[in-house]
Amino acid sequence: MAVTEITAKSILRKFNKADSWFVARYSMNLYRGCLHNCSYCDGRAEKYNVQGEFGKDVAVKINALDLLEKELDPAKKRKPVKKGFVLFGGGVGDSYQSVEKRYELTRGALVLMERFNRPVHVLTKSTLVERDIDLLEKINKKSKALISMSFSSMDNQISAQFEPGVADPLTRLDLLKQIKKKSGIAIGVFLMPVIPYISDTPEVLNETLSRCREAEVDFVIFSGMTLKPGRQEEYFYSSLENSYPELINEYKCLYANAGKWGYTSEAYYHKINHLFESLADHHGIPKRIPIQHWKPVTDESDRVVIILEQLDYLLKLKRETSPYGYGAYSLSQLKQPIREYQGSFTRLKGIGPVTERLIREILNTGSCKYYDKMMG
């Protein structure tokens, strides 16, 4: 294992539009590379340009806290930081991987978030997050926190094979449950990715969602697995060779037209999403992050975009056509607050009278009845 200290030029990465999966406006990576070494990790893909041997080497942004303080401090910024969650994780390295015990950059960043009243969404696979519950509780009271963990299933054997660097899933899920019980912080599961033919079967997926319901998670976000050609694909196949060699040919068919993004076939995509939808509905689990967890800390224009995108997702999950996705994108590109375009929404690309009605309702009431119904 090699730990390299590097200096970064900036820390907060602003999304170019409100993100409806993580409901975040910013994200950050304090570490590049990840010692958890999940065999499907797409952080390995060449496009992310992570140096060294992925899973063994990690770069530490040694000046991260100084930079972050400047980026968050309104007195030092010409342009204020926008409202909305800052996502810890979800990039090319877990914020709570083992080097965090030594460098404490994540803890230091949370101290700054608390000081500057920023809402935080932590997404991790590590039980080390428990160390910082004191801070996350304070943040939750002042400005809101969400804590999510990612899983490929709740099966300990599957996890030991594909996620060798983290605690078993039932231990991690139980920790989430205890966190919610003690602190009241909302908790989520990112079922991301499910592993084809291994953790996507009806039996395994049903068990996973049943465990999520028992743990009273507030939402489950689902996604299949991408396999980008190059390092990610090679590493994953070498791991599969050891444990499920009989699946190699099936994977080659499934990813035959993967392209540079590593997509599965469309038929498979629809099949697993349909299965997820029916099981999540059966267990009564929200499939997007419910509005009550993000509405108070989200800018009004972002709220409109997130609601329309979430509706788009939910309709497509049902294989129904959706007029909302394109409209949400058009709105997200506006330079001024959405409210200032009242009366001319239908002049924007992708927005017809139905979407316009919803936008008005969201602006007037903070949500819309159709969205509430779709979220269940």
Examine residue 93 and tell whether it contacts ligand SF4 (CB under 6 A): yes
Query: Out of 25, 32, 36, 293, which residue is the one contacting ligand SF4 (CB under 6 A)?
Result: 36
Report if residue 303 touches ligand SF4, rule: CB under 6 A. no
- Scanning 17-25, 30-38, 283-291, 349-357 for contacts with ligand SF4 by CB under 6 A, the matching segment is 30-38
Give strand pairing partners of 188: 148, 219
Closest CA to 174 of 143, 211, 207: 211
* 179 part of the interface to ligand SF4, by CB under 6 A: no
Number of residues in contact with ligand SF4, rule: CB under 6 A? 9
AA identity, residue 59: A
CA distances from 85 to 12, 117, 152 (A): 11, 10, 24
Q: Does 161 participate in binding ligand SF4 (rule CB under 6 A)?
A: no
Q: How far apart are CA 194 and CA 210, in angstroms?
A: 15
By CB under 6 A, residue 231 contacts ligand SF4 = no
- 29-37, 105-113, 197-205, 313-321 -> range binding ligand SF4 (CB under 6 A): 29-37
In whole angstroms, give the CA distance from residue 333 to residue 323.
17
Nearer to ligand SF4, 43 or 84 (CB): 43
Please state the closest distance from residue 138 (CB atom) to ligand SF4, in A: 26
Give the distance from CA 82 to its chain's centroid.
19
CB 148, min distance to ligand SF4, A: 12
Nearer to ligand SF4 (CB atom), residue 43 or residue 196: 43
Q: Does 60 bind ligand SF4 (CB under 6 A)?
A: no
Q: How far apart are CA 120 and CA 136, in angstroms?
A: 8
The DSSP secondary-structure symbol of 80 reads: P
Sheet harboring 219-222: ordered strands across?
13-14, 24-28, 85-88, 120-124, 145-151, 186-191, 219-222
Q: Which of 38, 187, 289, 305 binds ligand SF4 (CB under 6 A)?
A: 38
Q: Which of 24, 28, 30, 41 is the binder for ligand SF4 (CB under 6 A)?
A: 41
Give the integer Cα–Cα distance in Å for 299 and 310. Answer: 16
Choice between 19 and 163, CB closer to ligand SF4: 163
CB 285 within 8 A of CB 212: yes
Confirm or reject binding of residue 34 to ligand SF4 (CB under 6 A): yes
Helix (H, G, I), strand (E, B) or coil at 2: strand
Q: Does 43 bind ligand SF4 (CB under 6 A)?
A: yes
- From residue 215, alpha-carbon distances to 179, 274, 283, 320 in Å are 11, 23, 12, 31
Nearer to ligand SF4, 49 or 364 (CB): 49
Closest CB to ligand SF4 among 36 and 211? 36
124: enclosing H helix or E strand: strand 120-124
Taking contact as CB under 6 A, which single stretch among the options 31-39, 77-85, 198-206, 242-250 is the one that binds ligand SF4? 31-39
Supply the minimum distance, in Å, between the C-beta of residue 90 and ligand SF4: 8
Tokens found for residue 172? 């991690």
- Site map 121..160 versus ligand SF4, x via CB under 6 A: ----x-----------------------------------
- 109, exposed or middle or buried, with CB in 10 Å at 0-12, 13-18, 19+? buried
**Closer residue to ligand SF4, CB minimum distance, 91 or 327:** 91
Residues whose CB falls within 8 Å of the CB of residue 335, separated by 6 or more in sequence, listed in order: none
**Residues that bind ligand SF4 in the complex, under the rule CB under 6 A:** 34, 36-38, 41, 43, 93-94, 125
